[in-house]
Amino acid sequence: MSAETATAARPDVYEVALDGELTVYQAAALKETILSSLTRGGAIRVDLSGVTAIDGAGIQLLLLWQSLAGARGLDLGLVVCSQVVVEMLELLRLSARFPIAGRVPV
Q: Name the 3-class secondary structure at 27.
A: coil
Let me know if residue 51 belongs to a domain: yes
Let me know if residue 42 belongs to a domain: yes
Q: Is residue 81 over pLDDT 90?
A: yes
Q: Is residue 14 over pLDDT 70?
A: yes
Q: Is residue 106 over pLDDT 70?
A: no
Per DSSP, what are the bridge partners of residue 15?
Answer: 6, 45
Let me know if residue 48 belongs to a domain: yes
Number of structural domains found in the chain: 1
Can you give the pTM of this predicted structure?
A: 0.86
Per DSSP, what are the bridge partners of residue 53?
Answer: 21
Supply the DSSP symbol for 2: E
Query: CATH no. for residue 74?
Result: 3.30.750.24
